[in-house]
Amino acid sequence: MIPGLEPVALRELQALGQPRVWEVDGTHDELASLTPIRGRVCAEHRGNILEVEGSLSTIICLRCDRCLGHFNQELNVENRELIWLGSDPSDANVSTPELDAAVPEGLMECLDPRGRFEPERWVFEQLSLQMSVVNFCGDHCPGPPLQTSTPAASTPPTPLKDPRWQALRDLQASMQPPSDQPDD
């Protein structure tokens, strides 16, 4: 839960008579980000439309679909959205030039005017939309691991070469007196 981004009743936003601004600084439960989500969200009730504007940024850690390596990706959102307050925008007699220009027909979000606006959900949706369907770490991607590695699949891995054993070997070495220099 991002602190301070509790849902707010649309009627409350209407009664406010001016835009409400949320400062965003926190982490979202469903979005594992490396850095807090930071930015701001602004919502203004304009009769039968809720205008929501926001600028947000965070860094998430993804796994590359090709090389399976992890990489960080910055997400930046700079968006403005008009949300229709009513059951169905298509059956309403709305024909403001602004709406026609901004929203492709039938793709507008709606909210029940008696319902609530959830700024945290809006933040989550906007950031989610920035994520690509295919995760690709970049031009330096080494490619799929099986194609680039030497064909050593037939030889079993040597445990001594496993770096995880290095600490144990160091410990063993430090506990044993050097065998080539007898202490006498």
Taking the complex as a whole, the smallest distance from the CB of residue 132 to Zn ion amounts, in Å, to 13
Site for Zn ion in 139-168 (CB under 5 A): 141
- Residue given tokens 């979202």 in the structure block: 28
Stretch that binds Zn ion, among 6-14, 90-98, 136-144, 159-167 (CB under 5 A): 136-144
Q: How far apart are CA 80 and CA 126, in angstroms?
A: 10
Taking the complex as a whole, the smallest distance from the CB of residue 147 to Zn ion amounts, in Å, to 12
Q: How far apart are CA 148 and CA 96, in angstroms?
A: 57
Taking the complex as a whole, the smallest distance from the CB of residue 135 to Zn ion amounts, in Å, to 8
Binding mask 54-73 for Zn ion (x = CB under 5 A): ----------x-xx------
CA distances, 98 to each of 71, 81, 104 (Å): 40, 12, 11
Q: How far apart are CA 123 and CA 118, in angstroms?
A: 9
Q: Is residue 85 involved in binding Zn ion (CB under 5 A)? A: no
Token pair in block for residue 65: 């679909």
Q: Is residue 137 involved in binding Zn ion (CB under 5 A)? A: yes
Residue 108 · residue 90 · CB < 8 Å: no
Count the site residues for Zn ion by CB under 5 A.
5
Residue 117 · residue 8 · CB < 8 Å: yes
Q: Is residue 135 involved in binding Zn ion (CB under 5 A)? A: no
Taking the complex as a whole, the smallest distance from the CB of residue 148 to Zn ion amounts, in Å, to 11
Taking the complex as a whole, the smallest distance from the CB of residue 145 to Zn ion amounts, in Å, to 10
Binding site for Zn ion (CB under 5 A): 64, 66-67, 137, 141
